[in-house]
Structure 1
Amino acid sequence: MAIWFNLLAIVAIGCGIAFKHPGLTVAGCAIALGLSLPIVYRSLRPKIPKSLSPSQRLQLVTIVTMLVVIISLLRIGGFFTYVGELSAGTDWSAVGAVGLWGGAIGQTTIATIAAFVSWRQYVVSRDLTIEQNRLNRQQNVITQQQTIDNYFQGISSLVLDDNGFLEDWPQERAFAVGRTAALLGSVNAEGKARVIRFLSRSKLLTPLQRDLRLGKVILNGDGGYDEDRIAGLRVIDLGVMLASIDLSLTDLRWSDLSDANLIRTSLTGCNLTKANLSRTILYQAKLNGADLKGTRFFYGKLESASPRIPNVDPDYITGEYSGAVVEDVDFTNVIGMSESQRQYCCAWCGENSRRTIPGGCKDVPNRLFISTARSFDDD
């Protein structure tokens, strides 16, 4: 029966449209809608989510009803007619121009936002890179400390016997020198300073008196070893290990750097308190800002002390040839320089370096003759 009524409604709608009869058309639409809605509802009802409660379903229907009511009121009030008239009288070319300006502003805004996002990404990436570099440096420091600690243990085991006495044979000394050279070439300035302090305080850089037959070091009776600056033998001879490297701002207090080659080495800002620099080659080294309190540059008397000369034995009583080579050294802003240190350095540092020594050198004659042949290749 519903099929026949639907067909009748379709015929009514068709006749109303054909004969331009609105009433017949509306009646046909009403009949068709009234017959179709129950059928559509029955088919859609099983598909309605069961999760919706009756109150939620009521709210959904109410919202749809309110939309229909609002649209109807706007239609009755002539809102859509007013909009149509306004649209007909609008200069759409002007609206298009405004749209173009709006588009340009929108594009500028989007570009600004994109630039801001890119900048924020750069900031985040930069912060991550900085943090990663910090972690890498921290890991490198830990690794370096472990390497140095292993070196300390290895050197101690190499040159000491079971009773803790020096038992360094030529082969052990050669191994110790090789391990030291390899380590100093792979650690930073602070690591180098730690190694130097350890070796100095352990008397491994000091020339020790030895038995002429067995080569064993000789105890001094006071719990230590006798030094022999003339004929003694060092466990580790630094040689050129520290030449032309950067040791700036490191702690080298009480370090025995005697006879070492520090040519063009940077000791800027170093703490050299009580360090032994006798017969050390400091040619063109940088000592600016270093602490020289108690630093030894020579042995013997100031009046007769002079820098080392290759292949000439020093006299540690008079000081002749026992001093450090200080030619062209930068002494700018050094602190703790004693009067004897100032006079020695003024006498033997050369004309260029004399201008850098605190207090000046006008009262000290220049004893360094440029024509004097000096060669440091043997070190």
Structure 2
Amino acid sequence: MSGALVALLVSFQEIWPTLRRWLNDFLSSSQRSQVIAFFGIIIAIASLLKFLGFYRSISNWLAQAKWDEFGSWAEWIGAVGQIMIAIVTAYIAWRQYVISKDLTIQQNLITQQQTIDAYFQGISELALDDEGLLEDWPQERVFCEGRTAAILSSVDANGKAKVLRFLSQSRLLTPLRRDNHLGRPMLDGQGGYQEDRDSGVRVIDLNVMLAGVNLSGTDLRWTELSSANMVRTNLSYCDLAHANLTCSILYEANLVGADMKGAKLFYGSVETASPLSRTHPPDYRTGAYTGAVVEGINFTGVLRLSEQQRYYCCAWCGEESRNTIPGGCEGIPNQLGR
């Protein structure tokens, strides 16, 4: 006993200077006081419990305990522990799956954006000459349409919207006036190209590229979608503000919740405008046969529909679709007749 005490005192005398320097370096005076007070509280509580007989009660309970029962308790605790380990393992595996899925989605988005950027570069090289002027020979237009059809079938809804906005702002979807000699687009004298709705030629004609596709929730503001075949296309919750939908085929399309502010559905007056016809050419002066085919569209919850748009849609969408138009169609004749 005496040897142990002597060894403890000698060892403490050797380590105390180092311990004191460490305490002075890492703890301020107030922190040292808090540490001492913390240990003082623990000692005080332990002493108080001793005087209250808490330790004696614990000793009596341990003396009366049936230790044979603790074996079955240990088995139950072991089983519960194994179940908890299995739950933790399953949770870790699930988290790894979620993280892997998120990383895959991010990688796919990066790859898709790189594909779209390459498409933009390729279309620009095909359609522009060395001086930066638009020069689209017939075979080049065919290549442009082929590349556009391929990219639209390989990207998601947001990717499709990016492609359509690029083509629209580049006026590659707009019918342009040609010189009737070499077929080159004619400048308008203001830094752009002349638009010719009657007999102009588009660099890229969408045709049926958008038929039946999902464009739900995308940004299609100011896009040139005229003459596009969008039969049964999902345009729900799209932003179609100021989009040009004239002569387009929107038969049974889904426009639930779409924003139609300023969207162009026809040319001319709403009283004389009518949908695109297979047998009659569009008359852009009166608006006859220049309108979008709106039969069978679901207009439920369409936003910012103007009175002219509402009148046109009520007149030409058919009896079933008239019931879905916000504001109703009371007093507007059913020009479609079915």
TM-score bracket for this pair, using the shorter chain length = 0.7 to 0.9
* CA shift for structure 1 position 103: 4.7
Matched, 1:293 2:261: yes
Counterpart CA distance in 2 for 1:194 and 1:249 is 13
Q: How does 1:201-240 map to 2 (within 5 A)?
A: 201-240=169-208
* CA shift for structure 1 position 102: 4.7
Q: How does 1:1-379 map to 2 (within 5 A)?
A: 99=68, 102-370=70-338
Q: Which has the larger radius of gyration?
A: 1
* CA shift for structure 1 position 356: 1.1
**TM-score, normalisation: structure 1:** 0.70
Counterpart CA distance in 2 for 1:118 and 1:283 is 54
Counterpart CA distance in 1 for 2:80 and 2:331 is 70
Deviations 1:137-174 (A, max 9, x none): 11111111111111101100001001111110011001
* CA shift for structure 1 position 135: 1.0
Deviations 1:321-365 (A, max 9, x none): 100011111111111111000000011111111111111101211
Counterpart CA distance in 1 for 2:75 and 2:300 is 60
Percent identical residues: 55
List runs of 5+ in structure 2 lacking aligned partners.
9-65
* CA shift for structure 1 position 223: 1.1
Amino acid at match of 2:291: G
Counterpart CA distance in 2 for 1:278 and 1:304 is 14
Aligned partner of 2:47 in structure 1 is none
Counterpart CA distance in 1 for 2:268 and 2:305 is 18
Counterpart CA distance in 1 for 2:269 and 2:278 is 21
RMSD across aligned C-alpha pairs, in angstroms? 1.8
* CA shift for structure 1 position 124: 1.0
Deviations 1:8-34 (A, max 9, x none): xxxxxxxxxxxxxxxxxxxxxxxxxxx
Counterpart CA distance in 1 for 2:205 and 2:77 is 70
List runs of 5+ in structure 1 lacking aligned partners.
1-54, 60-94, 371-379
Counterpart CA distance in 2 for 1:139 and 1:150 is 17
**TM-score, normalisation: structure 2:** 0.79
Amino acid at match of 1:234: R
